[in-house]
Amino acid sequence: MQFYEDDEYDTYHDMDINVVLNQIEELEHYAKLQFPIEEKITHYQTILLNKRFAMDYRYEAMNQLSKLVDNFPNLAVPVLLNFLESGESEFNDPNYQLSKAWCVIDPCDYVNIYSDENWFEDILDLAISSLNSSFPETKEAIHVLVDIVKNKYYCNYVDSAVQVLCELGERYQDMRYIIVANLYEERKLNPKARLLLDYLEEFYNQLDYFKRDFFSEWFFSEIYVEEQYNF
């Protein structure tokens, strides 16, 4: 892992773990205060989009935001989308704060200390899995989710993107068209794209509709063969 000698960034990389733990504790306390929801969501967005905050602290901000999605989708979903579209993936950026409180997520793992990549993938996974296909606002995430399946299929958070896209494709026919049009050429070399397209094809090719209420369970128990979709 690269460390920077520039004095401008030393304070961030040398931040004591207790400072981050205190920030997380303060944020947990803030979440319980009776501030307007709009103010809280704006505050979480500010933390998420600031690379100079420790990854652990930003994870807690995403965790708090994810709790507001179901009740305030019109406010929270655009923040999730803004974060997913922010394009943050350069871990060698000197502004990109290192993980500090890795033990917050896995206190028993003293050998494989969480890396910045793992922290960021966890934040992305939480953001994607917080999207609910029943909210119209989630349709706005279609292109960034398709892009993840197309170009980030080797990342851990792609499974959450596939799940949300499956649900969007089931619910909205126009979403299905977008998914198929953008991923059809990827299906031969991209196992996640192939899984997604196979799922939607099977869903729409049913001769009867008795399975639709539990189609996902039926597909993965009767149709899905893991070896077909492994690298």
Q: pLDDT of 109-147, one tens digit each?
A: 544 454 556 777 888 999 999 999 999 999 999 999 999
How many Å is the Cα radius of gyration of the chain? 20
pLDDT-based confidence at residue 99 (cuts at 50, 70, 90): low
Tell me which of 6-10, 132-136, 227-231 is least confident. Answer: 6-10
pTM: 0.83
Query: In the numeric block, which tokens belong to residue 121?
Result: 């993938």
The dihedral region occupied by 54, where left means phi > 0, alpha psi between -120 and 50, and beta the remainder, is: beta
Q: Angle, to 10 degrees, between the axis of helix 158-171 and the axis of helix 142-151?
A: 130
Q: In this predicted structure, what is the pLDDT of residue 6?
A: 41
Q: pLDDT tens for residues 16-42?
A: 778 888 999 999 999 999 999 999 999
